[in-house]
A and B are shown apart, each in its own frame.
Chain A
């Protein structure tokens, strides 16, 4: 094990990237990810990383550069957030369709308009169907570890897909926490150099990105989908390997106080930590509430989720975006769909929380739990969702 140091989430990501020995880094700065760009540029200027650093003119170009570089067999990293991810939207699909193991760190941020630089997950939830694996971090230590795991998952022979490692803007990206670094040789032992399947090579020309006529398009997409579904197995394997080497405890989701829970919270990202605090407090007050912290959102671990939620009467999904005109946030819809086939499925309510950086406190989760206990008692729900941290009728302000 390496030193224990104090770093912000973004600095921790930059350190992890440096230790993963990338070949190419193409980036465009955007709040709250900018510090990652700054730190990596500093490492590069100091000669601490032996990578091509491409300061792109936009996020669309940054992702395009990543795609070209990754096709040559290089290990490639980028980072973005919010409007940046929106701008690289079309290239995100190209990266996953080309089966390129690019790793992108995301400092989650709300989307315009109104202009807002603070945290929610409108950005990554908005690109949930672009074929990238998505892993969400709860704290700075996780943000550091996930970058290392992400390259290992992405570059696995059976996966060959890009990975987003997401942490909450400001809440993690700019919060200084103590974390334990890993020694370079420990990371080298865990993460061998990339072995590309079909690197582009002038001596053995291939065509990438050709037209896929209707006679071929579905076959190519199903091949990609099967790889994405199967990646869950590899993600679990990589987490287990990491846990056994470094004494951590990573899994696709982690239940807490769920054994005899009557109602459950389902949270993702840093709010899972806040919710856990609230659950511990409510347990002392005798309320039968538990929490499931979701770490992997794509591929969606629906079987594991059903297993962890099958015995509760009501689930409150702590969403981090609003999927306008639907039944709440994006996460809640995945949860409803996953639970649908259960014989005695729980009621599901969505609680879009902390939009645009609105502060979320344990009291908010206590209020959500009150509503869930009422739903469990009445065995019916009146509303599909309630926004948490908003003034006005129908919302939970606390």
Chain B
């Protein structure tokens, strides 16, 4: 389900009965396309690696790194919860 829209398959190309014959392909689905104008931006110099954003992110789009975190924009839907929860204001929502 990650194909660009102009390449979506026709009725005679979609799998029989709507079956998914390649298990695990949900991870290819770019939910990042759902963001509507704003994305969270992390300032690593402010981050204290408390991991509250990692806990609160409903999409698992915050990934852990050595001394901080990284936002995965492929999946991030731009809900802004991380930005609200961050106790040191290290994540700001910015125009895309």
Q: Which residues of A contact B (CB under 8 A)?
A: 97-99, 160, 197-198, 205-208, 210, 212-213, 215-216, 218-220, 222-224, 226
B17: chain A residues at CB < 8 Å are 97-99, 160, 198, 208, 220, 223-224
A198-B11 in contact (CB<8A): no
B20-A207 in contact (CB<8A): yes
Nearest opposing residue in chain A for B20, CB measure: A207
C-alpha spacing A226/B11, complex, angstroms: 9
A219-B14 in contact (CB<8A): yes
B19-A216 in contact (CB<8A): no
Q: How far is the CB of B43 from chain A (nearest CB, A)?
A: 35
C-alpha spacing A223/B14, complex, angstroms: 8
The 9 residue pairs across chains A and B that have the minimum distance between CB atoms: A207-B20, A222-B11, A220-B18, A219-B11, A99-B17, A205-B23, A219-B14, A223-B11, A98-B17
C-alpha spacing A216/B9, complex, angstroms: 8
A97: chain B residues at CB < 8 Å are 17-18
- Contacts known (A219-B9, A219-B11); A206 close to B20, Cβ less than 8 A: yes
* Cβ 8 A contact of A206, one of B1, B12, B14, B19: B19
* Cβ 8 A contact of B16, one of A99, A207, A212, A218: A99
Nearest opposing residue in chain A for B22, CB measure: A206
In the complex, per-residue mask of B1-42: 1 if CB is within 8 Å of any chain A CB, else 0: 100010011111110111111010000000000000000000
| Those of B67-91 within 8 Å (CB) of chain A | none
List 10 interface pairs A-B (beta carbons < 8 Å), by A numbering: A99-B17, A205-B23, A206-B21, A208-B17, A210-B20, A215-B1, A216-B18, A219-B9, A219-B13, A224-B17
* Cβ 8 A contact of A220, one of B1, B5, B11, B23: B11
* Cβ 8 A contact of B19, one of A208, A219, A222: A208
A contact face: mostly helix, strand, loop, or mixed: loop
B18-A197 in contact (CB<8A): no
C-alpha spacing A225/B79, complex, angstroms: 39
A223-B20 in contact (CB<8A): no
C-alpha spacing A136/B1, complex, angstroms: 41
C-alpha spacing A97/B16, complex, angstroms: 10
Which of B8, B11, B12 gathers the greatest number of chain A CB atoms within 10 Å? B11
B21-A198 in contact (CB<8A): yes
B18-A198 in contact (CB<8A): no
B12: chain A residues at CB < 8 Å are 223, 226
B13: chain A residues at CB < 8 Å are 219
* Cβ 8 A contact of B8, one of A198, A206, A207, A215: A215
Q: How far is the CB of A74 from chain B (nearest CB, A)?
A: 16
Q: How far is the CB of B67 from chain A (nearest CB, A)?
A: 38
C-alpha spacing A61/B16, complex, angstroms: 25
B14: chain A residues at CB < 8 Å are 216, 219-220, 223
A222: chain B residues at CB < 8 Å are 11
Nearest opposing residue in chain A for B25, CB measure: A207
Q: How far is the CB of B5 from chain A (nearest CB, A)?
A: 7
C-alpha spacing A145/B45, complex, angstroms: 79
B10-A219 in contact (CB<8A): yes
Q: How far is the CB of B32 from chain A (nearest CB, A)?
A: 16
C-alpha spacing A97/B17, complex, angstroms: 6
Q: How far is the CB of B62 from chain A (nearest CB, A)?
A: 25
Nearest opposing residue in chain B for A100, CB measure: B17
